[in-house]
Amino acid sequence: MIFVTGGAGYIGSHACVELLMAGHDVTVFDNFSNSQWEATERVQRIAGRTMTVVRGDIRDVQALQSALRASKAEAVMHFAGLKAVGESEAEPLKYYDNNVLGTLRLLEAMVACDVKTLVFSSSATVYGIPESLPYREDHRLSATNTYGMTKLVVENMLRDLHRSDPSWSIGILRYFNPVGAHSSGLIGEDPQGTPNNLMPYVAQVAVGRREFLNVWGNDYPTPDGTGVRDYIHVVDLAIGHVKAFDYLKTREGCIAVNLGAGSGHSVMDMVRSFEAASGRAVPFKVGPRRAGDLGAYWADASLAAELFGWRVERGLDRMCADTWRWQSMNPDGYKGEQ
Ligand code: NAD
Ligand code: UDP
């Protein structure tokens, strides 16, 4: 049994599908602050298996402990948290409360229930400004915003915890840019309000919900001047979690591993691929650089290949095609279904 915090969210829901398909039992624990119950129904429909879903907040010590104990989990996958960089700058305490205090409460509950295997959702943002590319796991760590700082604080907390008790098995997974959706078109990213991220914004332009894409800068030192990121299909990312758990269940330690494709694509690459996948135009206007943006970064993905036997299998075309299927089947996200 795997206990999945934030399992109703974008990445967590895809991870639940892959866990169920790999034969694991799953308990989701989510407060639905950024997700819909419907997502958990659809996960079970795709996998053809049931899972337990508990509505609760990781900062609610009693609710968390009793759900974890009842689940008899052997491991926790911890996706629950807040992730909007801009909001984290405006409301830092909310981010420390949810991401740092929430994780602390989760670790305490794990100690109380004697569960010592954890997979944690970290982010490439902990590398801060690149000193060398691609980012390797031993790159210096720093944070350029409050969201990134909460990930860094949790990473440090996990390393300290493991040092104090080496019987823990902890996988810190540093995601690059997750995009795409399940090939069924039933689950995908369902951003509330105006999307900040490139792929959901492009998808909403293609479907006609927004007039044009703002390209934030075309004067970066990249092949076409637009920003370059390492996009990873969310299903590849989800499979990476199953493989990480397979690795951790027989080994003690605390390891940090990049989950990325190992190569980058520009904003214009994304626009062109999305137009091809959708058969729709994606009008755009070039604007100034977005404050705080880095020009280009991508992962050295070799450690995940070496340790987990994992590498990405789905390229940019597939990321766009699957996003388009999800977007056109669910133009208003999960809320469209009543
Ligand atoms: P998401 O918002 O879709 O999912 C997070 C889930 O956690 C939601 O279902 C939300 O309701 C739940 N949640 C939030 N606070 C909670 C709390 N206090 N108690 C219980 N549940 C709570 O986000 P996502 O994109 O699926 O991201 C999952 C994790 O991966 C996050 O920790 C995020 O920081 C990390 N991450 C995401 C990205 C990305 O680009 N999506 C990149 C790197 C890292
Ligand atoms: N981007 C853009 N227009 C948008 C959103 C993003 O041009 O509306 C660019 C952004 O400048 C960056 C890339 O797309 O170069 C990826 O941005 P995203 O916010 O998805 O990811 P992050 O910057 O957090 O890696």
Low-confidence stretches of the chain (pLDDT < 70) are 337-338
Residue 147 known to be catalytic: yes
Choose, from 147, 231, 247, 334, the residue flagged as catalytic. 147
DSSP state for residue 320 in the 8-state scheme: H
- Residue 125 alpha carbon, nearest atom of ligand 1: 43
- Residue 332 pLDDT: 87
Q: What is the DSSP string of 11-80?
A: HHHHHHHHHHHTT--EEEEE--SSS-HHHHHHHHHHHTS--EEEE--TT-HHHHHHHHHHHT-SEEEE--
For residue 215 and ligand 2, the question of a CB distance below 6 A is answered with yes
- Residue 122 pLDDT: 98
Contact present, 170 and 158 (Cβ < 8 Å): yes
- Residue 337 pLDDT: 57
- Residue 231 pLDDT: 98
How much distance in Å is there from the Cα of 289 to the middle of ligand 1? Answer: 26
How much distance in Å is there from the Cα of 218 to the middle of ligand 1? Answer: 30
How much distance in Å is there from the Cα of 198 to the middle of ligand 2? Answer: 5
Domains and CATH numbers, the chain: 2-180+231-261+300-309 (3.40.50.720)
Pocket test for ligand 2, best of 197, 272, 289 (most atoms within 8 A of CB): 197
**Which tokens sit at 138?**
């031993």
Nearest residue (by CA) to ligand 2, atom 23, is 293
pTM (2 d.p.): 0.98
Nearest ligand (C-alpha, residue 81): 1
Cα–Cα distance measured from residue 263 to residue 261, given in angstroms and rounded to the nearest whole number:
6
Q: Is the dihedral of CA 176, 182, 187, 189 positive or negative?
A: positive
Instruction: Encode pLDDT of 36-65 as tens digits.
Output: 999 999 999 999 999 999 999 999 999 999
